[in-house]
Amino acid sequence: VSDLLGPLDGEARRALFRGYFLAALDEERTARLEEEVLGEHALYEEMDGCADELIRDYLAGALAAEERGRFERHFLASPRRRERVAFLRDLGQAIDRVAPLPVPARSRRAVYLALAAALLLAALLAFLRLRPAAVPQRARQPVRAPSAGAPSGLPAPERLRTTPLPAADIQEVALAGGSAAGPTPVAIAGHVSALRLRVPFAGPASPSYAVVVRDAAGTVRWRSDDVAPASATALEVVVPSAALSEGDYELVAEGEALRGPEGPRVPPTRARFRVIRQP
Amino acid sequence: VTSEAKWALTGEGLRRLLERLGSGPEESGPAYERLRLRLTDYFDWRGVSGPEAAADETLDRVARRLSEGEEVRQLRSYAYGVARHVLQERLREQAREEQAAESVRPSPGGRSAEEQERRLDCLVGCLAELTGEERELAIAYYRTSGPSPVQDRRGLAGRLGLSAGALRTRAHRLRHRLEGCLHACLQGREGR
């Protein structure tokens, strides 16, 4: 028996096992690995535990896009493995019942800070309403977006619906769905605290969505794992403007049914946008 | 070969196979089950529909060769060699059948809300039967909500003083127990 696994450390073995389950190994390495694993039960157990890790990462939405695609094409091709995914999903739900996830201290602190910020903002707005003359005229004007391909600053109201809401300073943005469309320009004025991004679904609606906003380098700038649809055709998320500097972004929303093994195969909803900061 | 003749052949071969797998029934029985499980997963990983039947066919062929007096030095390597032949045959058969029937993979039937609730109740009971350390392992390893799974696993391996490989092995055994517990619980409820 060739010794493929022996010289490898834990991480390298894990990578090899995952490659096997995702059909990413060449035939020679596949056959060598199978021979070793079939000959030694302890290796089989380790490899099978790695399949559990992969399933758990999939269910937790922690797989990269390419891995997720391979998982859905290859791993979920077997009814036996789909059954296993369903079992681990149920086990995850049972675990949440017996050991509810504690709210981390950092999150609690974030909630307190958000409350404090909201109170301060409310007090400030009340003060400004009492002294309307003190509000700079520019801050009360609707923000206009440049059209695609046009120099920054030119208006394109058909692409970008902006309604300054003094009570919350949330800017409404309608994004065009689909990766084929060019990025929707989004001009953000200095006083805007958050964007409400509205995007039409690709495919049928799902009960909930995992939504991620990534920058051009692929870094996650914002995410939320349990977003209910705003209507039968569209999704809305509120993203803090502080999370978005100038540049290009992609919003990806994956429906719950897509993440589970038994749901209909619907493509994730994607929308691209370009942030332009305004004073 | 009639099924009777096949069984007679397999019965003698099975005895020889068990002898090769362990020195007594306490050793050879579990070793047989473990080998069968590995073969079943092998066929499943390779996309064979009916992987259990393919594993049984492999073991049957190995047993038959042993009963025919074939000299087998490394039983597990030999079994793997036979399994590869069975795999090729099965995949060819599948390709023919799929081409003929233009079969579409049947989608698994959804569970009713009641069935799903029964499963979750059973699993909660199964988790309650674990020891404290086992429960901690199950929770950290198999929770799908919350922080990054990778960090959870590394933290857990460190707390338990285990390597990543040993952690996977323990999780694998625990998951098998939980599956068995769920199965028994659901059967018990159906029997009521």
pLDDT in tens, A78-99: 888 999 999 999 999 999 888 7
Position B184 pLDDT exceeds 50: yes
Residue A146 has pLDDT above 50, yes or no: no
pLDDT in the model for residue A1:
44
Q: How far is CA A273 from the centre of its chain?
A: 15
Using DSSP's 3-state secondary structure scheme, residue B144 falls into coil
Judging by beta carbons within 10 Å of its beta carbon (0-12, 13-18, 19+), is residue A135 exposed, middle or buried? middle
The type of residue at B49 is S
Q: What is the mean pLDDT of residues A110-131?
A: 72
Residues in chain B closer than 8 A to A86 (CB atoms): 108
B24: pLDDT strictly greater than 90? no
Nearest-by-Cβ selection for A56 from B41, B83, B142: B142
Q: What is the pLDDT of residue A54?
A: 92
Of B80, B138, B168, which is closest to A39 when you measure between CB atoms? B80
Q: A80 and B182: CB-CB below 8 Å?
A: no
- How many Å lie between the alpha carbon of B39 and the closest alpha carbon of chain A? 7
Identify the three-state secondary structure at position A215.
strand
Is the pLDDT at A69 greater than 80, yes or no?
A: yes
- What does the mean pLDDT of chain A come to? 75
Nearest by CB to A79, which of B42, B108, B120? B108
Give which of B121, B143, B185 to mutate to test A binding, by max A Cβ within 10 Å: B143
Question: Could you say which residues from 80 to 139 on chain B have a Cβ atom under 8 Å away from some Cβ of chain A?
Answer: 80, 83-84, 105-108, 110, 116, 119-120, 123-124, 126-128, 135, 138-139
Q: Looking at the partner chain, which of A1, A21, A45 has a beta carbon nearest the beta carbon of B77?
A: A1
- Higher-pLDDT residue of B180 and A62 is B180
Whether residues B143 and A44 touch (CB distance < 8 A) is answered with no
- The pair phi, psi for residue B119, each rounded to 5°, is -60, -45
Lowest model confidence (mean pLDDT) among A77-86, A111-120, A151-160: A151-160
B161 lies within 8 A of chain A by CB:
no
pLDDT at position A84 is: 92
Query: Chain A contacts of B84, Cβ < 8 Å?
Result: 31
What mean pLDDT is predicted for residues B3-16? Answer: 62
Task: Report the residue from A20, A41, A88 with minimal CB separation from B142.
Answer: A88
Check whether A114 has a pLDDT greater than 50. Answer: yes
Nearest-neighbour CA in chain A from B190: distance (Å): 19
Lowest mean pLDDT among A59-68, A110-119, B47-56: A110-119
Please tell me the predicted confidence (pLDDT) of residue B8. Answer: 46
Chain A CB within 8 Å of residue B62 CB: no
pTM listed for this prediction: 0.56
Chain A residue with the nearest C-alpha to that of B110: A262
Instruction: Report whether A165 contacts A230 (CB < 8 A).
Output: no
A221-279 per-position pLDDT tens digit: 777 776 777 777 888 887 777 778 888 888 888 876 555 555 555 678 888 989 888 77
Is residue B146 within 8 angstroms of chain A, CB to CB?
yes
How long a stretch of residues is chain A?
279
Span A59-74, average pLDDT: 90
Least confident of A30-34, A137-141, A219-223, A247-251: A137-141
Least confident among A169-178, B13-22, B142-151? B142-151
pLDDT band for position B123 (cuts 50, 70, 90): very high
Q: How far is B168 from chain A (nearest CA, A)?
A: 4
Indicate the residue type of B137.
L
pLDDT at B180 exceeding the cut of 90 = yes
A44 CB neighbours in chain B (<8 A) are: 34, 37-38, 41
Give A137's pLDDT tier (boundaries 50, 70, 90). very low
Could you tell me where the beta strands, DSSP code E, fall in chain A? 170-174, 184-188, 194-200, 209-215, 220-227, 234-240, 247-255, 269-277
Determine the residue of chain A that is closest to B145 in CA distance. Answer: A60
Nearest residue in chain A measured CA to CA from B157: A10
Quickly list H helices, B46-148.
51-67, 75-101, 113-128, 132-142
Instruction: Collect all residues of chain B within an 8 Å Cβ-Cβ radius of residue A59.
Output: 144
- What residues of B are in contact with residue A62 (Cβ under 8 Å)? 148-150
Over residues B72-100, the mean pLDDT reads: 86
Q: Which of residues B97 and A141 earns the better pLDDT score?
A: B97
pLDDT band at B132 (very low <50, low <70, confident <90, very high): confident
The chain-wide mean pLDDT, for chain B, equals 82
What's the rounded Cα separation, in Å, for the pair B138 and A128? 55
Q: Are strands A194-200 and A170-174 parallel, antiparallel or unpaired?
A: parallel
pLDDT computed for residue A112 by the predictor: 66
pLDDT: which is higher, A196 or A113: A196
The predicted pLDDT at position B174 comes to 93
pLDDT of residue B3: 43
Highest mean pLDDT among A83-97, A220-234, B5-19, B90-104: A83-97
For A254, counting Cβ atoms within 10 Å of its Cβ (0-12 exposed, 13-18 middle, 19+ buried), the class is: buried
> How far is the alpha carbon of B8 from chain A, nearest alpha carbon, in Å?
27
B33 Cβ under 8 Å from any chain A Cβ:
no
Which pLDDT value is given to residue B13? 81
**Interchain pair A11, B164: CB under 8 A:** yes
Of B144, B173, B182, Cβ closest to residue A60? B144
Query: CB–CB of B77/B62 below 8 Å?
Result: no
> What is chain B's length?
192
Percent of chain B surpassing pLDDT 90:
32
Q: Say whether A38 and B76 touch across the interface (CB within 8 A).
A: yes
Over range A3-28, report the average pLDDT. Answer: 86
**Model confidence at B118: pLDDT above 80:** yes
Flag whether pLDDT at B159 surpasses 90. no
pLDDT of A25 above 60: yes
Average pLDDT, integer, range A41-58: 90
- The alpha carbon torsion through B151, B152, B158, B159 (nearest 10 deg) reads 150
Q: What residue of B is the nearest CA neighbor of A73?
A: B47
Cβ separation A39–B164 shorter than 8 A: no
For chain A, say whether B165 makes contact (Cβ under 8 Å). Answer: yes
Residue type, A169: D
Dist. CA A229–CA A234, nearest whole Å: 6
pLDDT at A252: 85
SS3 B71: coil
Mean pLDDT of B71-86: 89
